Structure 1
Amino acid sequence: MAESLPVCCPACGREHRYCAPTFPCVCGAPLAPPVRHGAAPVEVLHRSWDDSWVRLRCPDCGRADQWPQPEFDCACGALVRLPVDGDEAGGQAAAGQAAGDEAARPRVPHPAAPGSSGQVPPPTARPPFRPVTIRTARDTLTAAAQYLKWLGFGGVRLAGDRTANGIDLRGDGLVAQVDPATLPTPLREVECLWLNCAHEDAAGAFFSLAGYAHDARLRADQLGVPLFVMDLTGTPQPVNDAADELIRHGPPD
């Protein structure tokens, strides 16, 4: 398992404990990005696809591939990226350390996001979530839809013309919005989802690739809108209490 490191948000100075996520290679061996000790974290103001990946080589099978850069979403709304050592050489060292931890093999973990209400207990009645790697905006929609199905929502599908009402996904008693943009989701988008939920008497969920503006986070907490941040493996992470509750209890009765 990767080492837990103290990290200060460059935007607000808040201290976090960060542990780089471990992901399985196609051969089953776990790999973790080697976070550089002592290097200053960076606030990501504009996210690009190329800058969001790091090249690692699996020490078990020798396969070199692209893996998500280590990042986290601070409670202040900043998206923070941590520098890594080297590319393939650094990946070998981190993967070798991770290979000793059999508990990490071969599933992708589902941690609570830094700044959320705390550790989320794993759902007892669900199989492990199988993420969809995000490389395009369409992949973000697919990953969010798969996650909502995993939470227990039925009939999840694309909503059609998003420009008409701002809804990207629909399900049985569900409306959801997905923001694949490279800038934090603004307040207006969160309020739009809440209004759609109230109008249709439905549960809601918001998925963002680049995190949320500070006022959007605050408003979502006031309105009880579940917020998730998508990492590039396609694994959503909860960022507020409403999202934690949705994971614990699934769709409302």
Structure 2
Amino acid sequence: MPESVPVRCPACRRERRFTVPVYPCACGAPVVPPLDPRGAPMAVTHPVWDEQWVSLRCGACGREGEWPQPELGCPCGTVVRVPVARGEPGPWDAVVAAARLLHRLGHHDVRRARRRPAHGIGLVAPGLVAHVDPGERPACLRDVECLWLTAMIRSARGVHFSRAGYTADARARADGLDIPLFSLDAAHAPRPVNDAARAFTAPDTAS
């Protein structure tokens, strides 16, 4: 039977019972998000796409997947986000980190692309296409050129994020096409790799 825990609404301060969701892994085993007893429930006032998902690992097969962030609808009208304990950063954390950076830079309607790139996960926003590769292989020339082609078809700016870095020819091609490249460190924090990325994150000083 699913676990039920008390959650206090931060708006009306009333305590409600929250049934912990159980997600189905592809292997057939149940995946239960570990709630963080030290975390404080938060009211969701402006839903943000990248904050609506949590990365969880199946205890049976070890497969990692992204699942909806546990939330509780309070009768007072408040949507309450229930905190989940986080472990080691997983692949989906890289996507979340990239989406958060783009959001901070003014791209507020960031969402997952319908069409997935050859490696990693695609993100789109008005006027923007981003590829996020959390894998162990450095992004290659083909990855950069595929991003450039996708962005050109959509009349958008292409941005690439890679956990394992870039090959020399990929960096050279990105420089020639003015494509911002970002690396992702162990905590999946994005770091600019080339001048295009540094310019992309620089404050707009134009009047």
Q: TM-score range by the shorter chain?
A: 0.5 to 0.7
Following superposition, which runs of at least 4 residues in structure 1 exceed 3 angstroms of deviation?
163-167
Which of 96, 109, 113 is the aligned partner of 1:142? 96
SS of the residue corresponding to residue 100 of structure 2 reads: helix
Which of 160, 182, 207 is the aligned partner of 2:114? 160
**Are 1:179 and 2:152 counterparts?**
no
Contact 1:159 1:169 (8 Å CA) reproduced: yes
Contact 1:133 1:139 (8 Å CA) reproduced: no
Match in the other structure for 1:237: 191
Q: Post-superposition shift, 1:163?
A: 4.9
Match in the other structure for 2:158: 204
- Aligned pairs, how many? 120
Return the TM-score normalized by structure 2. 0.53
Residue identity opposite 2:143 in structure 1:
E
**Are 1:221 and 2:175 counterparts?**
yes
Match in the other structure for 1:24: none
Higher relative contact order (CA 8 A, sep 6+): 1
SS of the residue corresponding to residue 165 of structure 2 reads: coil
**Are 1:191 and 2:145 counterparts?**
yes
Q: Which runs of 5+ in 1 are unaligned?
A: 1-131
Counterpart CA distance in 2 for 1:225 and 1:176 is 10
Return the TM-score normalized by structure 1. 0.44
Counterpart CA distance in 2 for 1:134 and 1:173 is 33
Larger-gyration structure (1/2): 2
Q: Post-superposition shift, 1:196?
A: 1.1
Match in the other structure for 2:47: none
Higher strand share: 2
Contact 1:167 1:193 (8 Å CA) reproduced: no
Q: Post-superposition shift, 1:232?
A: 2.2
Contact 1:187 1:215 (8 Å CA) reproduced: yes
Counterpart CA distance in 2 for 1:177 and 1:240 is 16
Q: Which runs of 5+ in 2 are unaligned?
A: 1-85
Question: How well do the aligned residues superpose, as a CA RMSD in angstroms?
Answer: 2.6
Identity %: 47
Deviations 1:189-247 (A, max 9, x none): 00011111111111121000010011000000001010000112232111111101101
